[in-house]
Chains A and B, each alone.
Chain A
């Protein structure tokens, strides 16, 4: 009756219940995004209408126009891109270096374990706990309201994840490759850059996507450190709640600007992203 494993797992509740659960969960996931997208192009009278307009008859792009011309979305977009982009490059580069040293370098066995343990703990510590001191230090250094401050903070949050992921990927690099490099007289840097990196490219891509998304979505330190100039998109969208109210159209437009780039990246690199998620949580 059941020929494949899949038939067994996907039918564990029986067919009718399967369809009901799948339909409901799909609706719950998709509908909010439908609502976001349509609200973003609704006229003012439509997004404030009671009862709400399910399918707008007329669409407009004035909400987007408004956020880019008046609400600083252009500046926010630049800040978010620069912060997330730089964080991604820096965190992946220095994180993978560290992971390579721990995985393949010549450091004492004990140090190896201590570092792996340290980075695992570091991955879990609550960011809010350094909120106040970081604010004070950045104020003293004159770095408040700069992208640099955000890049530093985001890099520190993401390095442990990058190291954790890359430890797994470097661990899978065949020992023969390492050995042949050693025989050819390559030093650690050459073995890392010329031999290991090409092999772990999928891992690097996974780490890069996760880091980019994490810093693109980061809000806590963006709101603590970015006051006027270095405001990211996440801070801007929160401003719709705290400062104004019921500006649903422009707010939804801002939401679309926030989700769109990330959705495109994940859609294009889905395999890497999912692999990264799974390895970040449960090491295989």
Chain B
């Protein structure tokens, strides 16, 4: 018995080893490397260049970097609008298609498509549709008397466009998650209210909504965290432009490192970004743990 226990313990650690190896190679070491880099200046485009130690300069530069400030503001605006719209439409549509009838099931299948399409492909598709002259969006709008809009060519409409595309892509995800939560609500909870003659709207407000609250919280947190990771659709739809009107944090970090080749600054940015995201994640994990009891 004692011997078998030992092998089980050994095997358990053996089972965990490949995961540790992959995460150490692909996540831990690069993170440590970038921490070290963040105290150095290094030009990426010169393979022979050696990192020069510059102390905290990369970090202090952030405070005066107006581009960084703009990207942060943009990203916060983007997250605020995408998450609220996704939650609102997600909840409404989830309610409407949560049934077991054929139509609801069919629509749920259709709604899977936008979220499984590569974001970068969705971005190019919408870029095609939003084109000022050949785009179908402006054509459809012209049918109801709206004149052609240069969607991706001016700051405000470009921001609206990337927000709407993200909403288009991920509202269905919110729908799918919420439908499975709504379906999990027990029938017995409704019966009393139905006997009392409550209307569907009252039942939604008084019974369904409070029951969904924990799930809504988690879904919103996931969407907020993901919203700060947006990269692909910005890359192909606007490239952060016009100017820097739609530049978000991941694009900013990418550009600093791999387009302007400031490896050190990019690494410092990445670290500050990680710390902020970890704080967000921590709040999220605590909410989740509390929910699970």
Give chain A's interface residues, CB within 8 Å of chain B: 2, 5-14, 18, 21-22, 25-26, 28-30, 32-33, 35-36, 39, 47-52, 54, 94-95, 97-98, 100-102, 105-107, 115, 117, 120-122, 124-137, 139, 152-153, 155-156, 159, 163, 185, 187-189, 192, 213, 216-217, 219-220, 223-224, 233-234, 237-238, 240-242, 246, 248, 251-252, 254-255, 258-259, 262-263, 266-267, 270, 273-274, 277-278, 281-284
Contact = CB atoms under 8 A, between A and B. Distances in A.
A281 B291 CA distance: 13
A277 B176 contact: yes
A122 B28 CA distance: 10
B12 A132 contact: no
B253 A241 contact: no
Interface string B106-126: 011111111011111100111
Interface stretch (B57-65, B77-85, B155-163, B222-230): B222-230
Contacts of B18: 94, 97-98
A246 B177 CA distance: 37
Nearest to B267: A132
Given A12-B204, A241-B236, A22 B134 contact: no
Interface residues of B, number: 115
Contacts of A51: 139, 142
A157 to B, nearest CB: 8
B131 to A, nearest CB: 8
A278 B219 CA distance: 10
Nearest to A138: B30
Contact of A9 (B95, B136, B235, B263): B95
B4 interface: yes
A82 B107 CA distance: 32
B25 A188 contact: no
B244 interface: no
B97 interface: yes
Interface string B251-264: 00110011000010
Contacts of A2: 194, 200
A152 B185 contact: no
A12 B201 contact: yes
Contacts of B68: none
A223 to B, nearest CB: 8
A88 to B, nearest CB: 14
B277 A102 contact: no
A9 to B, nearest CB: 5
